[in-house]
Amino acid sequence: MDVELVSIGDELLLGFTIDTNAAHFARQAAAVGIRVVRRATVGDGAAEIAAAVQAGLERTGAVITSGGLGPTADDLTKASIAALFGRGMTLDEGILEALRARWQARWSRELPEANRAQAMIPEGATILANGHGSAPGIWLEDGQGRWVAMLPGVPREFRGMLADVLLPRMIERMGGAGATRVIRSRTLRTTGIAESAVADALAGIARKTLGASLAYLPGWEGVDLRLTVRDLVPAEADARLDAAAARIRAPLAEWIYGEGDEDLAAVVVQALRASGRTVAVAESCTGGMLGMRLTAVSGASHAVMGGVIAYDNAVKVRELGVHEATLAAHGAVSVETAREMAAGVRTRFGVDVGVSITGIAGPGGGTPEKPVGTVCLGLDLGGAVSAQRIVSIGDRQEIRQRSAQAALAKLLRGLRSADSAVR
């Protein structure tokens, strides 16, 4: 099924709002075999809305609109599309009652006259229930099977209604999910390995025999590997993805930490909890980001005790027991200092694992020997202390993000090898 998307709103055209609904829709639709062949963004004017919807109907016969369903005079989506279909507007008593009840319950007020507009719908339209807000969606269809689905623009409502109502309706229209040919993707997440090294590791796998297309998506979290299959029935698509993912996993097992949008910190907290270990952090250039990542995970309190933000060198000495002599001989950004920070926080906090980060996030502070982006990571795992030096690219923010991610990756590898050694 081919569809077009029309996003409606002056805020979008003026650039005050970034349209995230469109990308969300496209991904969800592709996964069930619906292809977005074109998108348009127009302002709140009735003529513009009608023209964009009409053009879409002429090309594909199927248009989804987002936005312009609110109660204000700006919101002309329903009326302009009704006119395009040659339909009048009619008051829906059910919607009116629901609006009245909502106003009474939430604000103890009568429904304002202006908001009655939300209960007006095109004649012959089907109402799409909105379980996430006040404005219902509308489905309008002509005698030739051409249709427009109108959804609210608020992302939470748009996404909720897409999942609850619109996607099931479109799938049914295509004759059920099993019969449809789909585009499906699966993403394997690696970290701590460069894009070129991933390519070397996968050099033995011929692209032609993989049965799926493979895209490299490098970012500060690592290199994601996206496998995509097209034009297959769902069961076959999933089987192909399973087989391709297994082949890629084998040579990259050490570097893969998750799938989809899984977060490395969540994987680390899970590994800590599974092994019954506690952790504390010692952070210099990241200033608390590593602690923030770990404690962002719900349930982190079972494993994460806390840590020390040792931004100033005096704090490294006083709170973490780093030796003045180490700082003098090797500098604050050195594997030696990273080792002492990790060991210091582990001992001090009485935990199983200490992790440390000390580096130069820039823009100032770089030298020829230690350029901006030089970061040293330390790990004390039950008394076994290690450290490594990495050089990250990007601006201050990105260097900090990459540093915290690299520390998490080091921690995960440490936990994995400690546990495999025990077995």
* DSSP structure class, residue 230: E
Of 122 and 286, nearer to a copy of itself (C-beta) is 286
CB of 283 to a copy of itself, least distance (A): 7
Residue ranges with strand state E in 165-221: 182-190, 213-219
CB of 67 to a copy of itself, least distance (A): 13
Contact by Cβ (8 Å): 26, 87 = no
Q: Which of 189, 269, 284 is nearest to 227 (CA)?
A: 189
Of 31 and 127, nearer to a copy of itself (C-beta) is 31
CB of 234 to a copy of itself, least distance (A): 17
Name the pairing type of β-strands 35-42 and 2-8: parallel
CB of 382 to a copy of itself, least distance (A): 19
Sheet holding 279-283, edge to edge: 279-283, 353-359, 374-381, 384-391
CB of 126 to a copy of itself, least distance (A): 26
Of 179 and 215, nearer to a copy of itself (C-beta) is 215
Of 250 and 296, nearer to a copy of itself (C-beta) is 296
140 three-state secondary structure = strand
CB of 292 to a copy of itself, least distance (A): 4
Task: Point out which residues bind a copy of itself (CB under 8 A).
Answer: 12-20, 22-28, 30, 36-43, 48, 52, 55, 183, 226, 281, 283, 285-292, 294-296, 298, 300-301, 304-312, 314-315, 319, 349, 362-364, 396-397, 400
Of 43 and 321, nearer to a copy of itself (C-beta) is 43
Of 26 and 210, nearer to a copy of itself (C-beta) is 26
Rg, C-alpha atoms of the chain: 28
Q: Which of 356, 369, 358, 368 is nearest to 399 (CA)?
A: 358
Contact by Cβ (8 Å): 37, 2 = yes
CA atoms within 13 A on the CB side of 321: 10
| Amino acid, res. 374 | T
Of 26 and 197, nearer to a copy of itself (C-beta) is 26
CA atoms within 13 A on the CB side of 399: 25
Of 226 and 273, nearer to a copy of itself (C-beta) is 226
CB of 400 to a copy of itself, least distance (A): 7
Q: What b/e sequence results for 318-347 when a residue is b if at least 16 CB atoms lie within 10 Å of its CB, and e otherwise?
A: ebbebeeebbeeebbbbbbbbbbbbbbbbe
CB of 250 to a copy of itself, least distance (A): 26
Distances (CA, A) of 154 to 7, 21, 40, 126, 394: 11, 9, 17, 21, 33
